A and B are shown apart, each in its own frame.
Chain A
């Protein structure tokens, strides 16, 4: 009898917690998909009644949002390519070779997390101005890469560490060079993990607000743009903006949910 009661309690708590997470998302979706008038309504509708895409359209068609959206995508894409392009070889080296300085290197990478984005982006703003890449997609991507690179190194390192060394050794005894063994054996097996890491890097860049706001002026990314006009924006704009910022994250997390746990579980060490 007690077992049943505690099982019910367990599930009840789980449901309450799950609701706590999900309800706010539900509400903002509701608000974003109602008519602009309904946004000002009080009390609000708690169930989807008059679903309308008017608010969303109002947001998308408003000045600069469309451009900001495109820039967010581009910055995230460049960040992804740079972080993984630079970070994967380092991750592989950490996983496969016991070279002198490996521990120091790893420690350095981990300790970059102690430095807030705030203290990184302010001098970057000054530096980029001097170099002429301020207010540019490429400049912001460089800043985001500085943020995401340590993450990429650690995750790729643990992805490769999870692939048995003997597989590459076997390939080498069967006629592959070291590069060949990497290409034919390690890389295909690492691909799912690397893809999940790539997607998460994309997300990190997509969500980033502080550096995006400081390092852009006339060419903002979506979060920077929303932040800039937030205080003067009418409610429908805010809500639609909130939903828009949220939606890709939800989709992405759903897609990579199986790797999420593995990824974070390893990086933390």
Chain B
């Protein structure tokens, strides 16, 4: 069931009245994206790096000198460092589970994929209901007799607790995307390889390490790329759970635009987010490079 990028049979372009048909079909999309995507991108850079018609780093400096900048940058990077590895492990587990001989597999698949449709704002609110002082986590802990007094999880002074709370919410919400990518990847690995390994004596974890993971590399790469880019956009979850106690880059961009009415600095933040995303993406591509020969197409 391997999906290939190879040639698909196509309709002959030249049969029919208009040879340029495909270009005509594609044009509206190109036009729309040029106007509402490419052009704004250019504008974003102008906003961030120009003032009164000249190129300047003034806005970047304002951004950097702002009190909350360092915290935003640090928290963002820390979040990503904590969330991404954890959720990849989780997603891999879920994917392997669903791929194995599981009864009611369809039901479990549906359940695991529910968070795909949940927005980061909703996820933030849901987990704030859990972590809040009178929330469900404390309730469960009290009923289990593990604590006597409700613990203040979302303590504005305990940044690492806030980090963990946001991480929990984000992992809960966004792992489904990685899971589904990995499941798609797993399904395209022919069973023969695993069975051959088993015949030659490999146990489960060895099979995963030597057969599954290497063949899953392309999917892992795609998932990692996607996830990292999305992770830099983390925004409403943080606000919902921590309010103004802590901040991330996207939240600062939002604040400078909405509350300070300063589109320039907001754009500077946006540009920073873009640069960081691209650097991270380039790193991923480099590290997870799969040579063509290994792909056995």
Contacts and interface: CB of A to CB of B under 8 A. Distances in A.
Whether A and B touch (Cβ < 8 Å) is answered with yes
Interface of A: 6-7, 10-11, 13-14, 17-18, 20-22, 24-25, 27-28, 31, 40-44, 46, 86-87, 89-90, 92-99, 102, 105, 108-109, 112-120, 122-127, 142-143, 145-146, 149-150, 153, 161, 164-166, 168-169, 172, 177-178, 203, 206-210, 213-214, 223, 226-227, 230-231, 235, 238-239, 241-242, 245-246, 249-250, 252-254, 257, 260-261, 264-266, 268-269
A257 B29 contact: no
A119 B273 contact: yes
B47 A123 contact: yes
Nearest to B223: A268
B260 interface: no
Interface in B137-155: 138-140, 142-143, 150
Contacts of B37: 112, 115, 120, 146
A118 to B, nearest CB: 5
Nearest to A263: B180
A124 B126 contact: no
Contact of A146 (B32, B134, B204, B253): B32
Given A230-B239, A245-B121, A246-B126, A86 B40 contact: no
7 contacts: A119-B274, A122-B257, A126-B43, A143-B36, A145-B36, A265-B3, A265-B184
B28 interface: yes
Contact of A97 (B22, B143, B172, B204): B22
Given A178-B15, A178-B16, A105 B26 contact: yes
Contact of B40 (A105, A124, A145, A245): A124
B263 A125 contact: yes
Contacts, number: 293
Interface of B: 3, 5, 7-11, 13, 15-16, 21-23, 25-26, 28-30, 32-33, 36-37, 39-41, 43-44, 46-47, 90, 93-94, 97, 100-103, 108-122, 125-130, 132-136, 138-140, 142-143, 150, 172, 177, 180-181, 183-184, 187, 204, 219, 222, 226, 229, 232-233, 235-236, 239-240, 243-244, 250, 253-254, 257-258, 263, 266-267, 269-271, 273-274, 277-278, 281
Given A114-B277, A209-B236, A203 B117 contact: yes
A11 B253 contact: no
Nearest to B118: A249
A94 B9 CA distance: 12
B3 A269 contact: yes
Contacts of B184: 261, 264-265, 268
Contact of B36 (A142, A177, A227): A142
A122 B250 CA distance: 11
B162 to A, nearest CB: 15
Contacts of A169: 11
A152 B199 CA distance: 44
Contacts of B25: 89-90, 92-93
Contacts of B258: 213-214
Given A113-B226, A238-B125, A122 B270 contact: yes
A118 B122 contact: no
Given A214-B254, A245-B125, A265-B183, 9 more contacts: A17-B90, A28-B125, A97-B21, A116-B277, A117-B233, A118-B253, A126-B47, A161-B8, A253-B113
A209 B119 contact: yes
B286 to A, nearest CB: 15
Contact of B119 (A11, A46, A245): A245
A210 B254 contact: yes
Contacts of A178: 11, 15-16, 21
B130 A24 contact: yes
A169 B9 CA distance: 11
Contacts of B229: 113-114, 116
A112 B7 CA distance: 24
A220 B30 CA distance: 29
A22 B111 contact: yes
Given A99-B13, A209-B236, A269-B3, A261 B134 contact: no
Nearest to A238: B125
A209 B87 CA distance: 23
Contacts of B7: 98
A118 B269 contact: yes
A231 B243 contact: yes
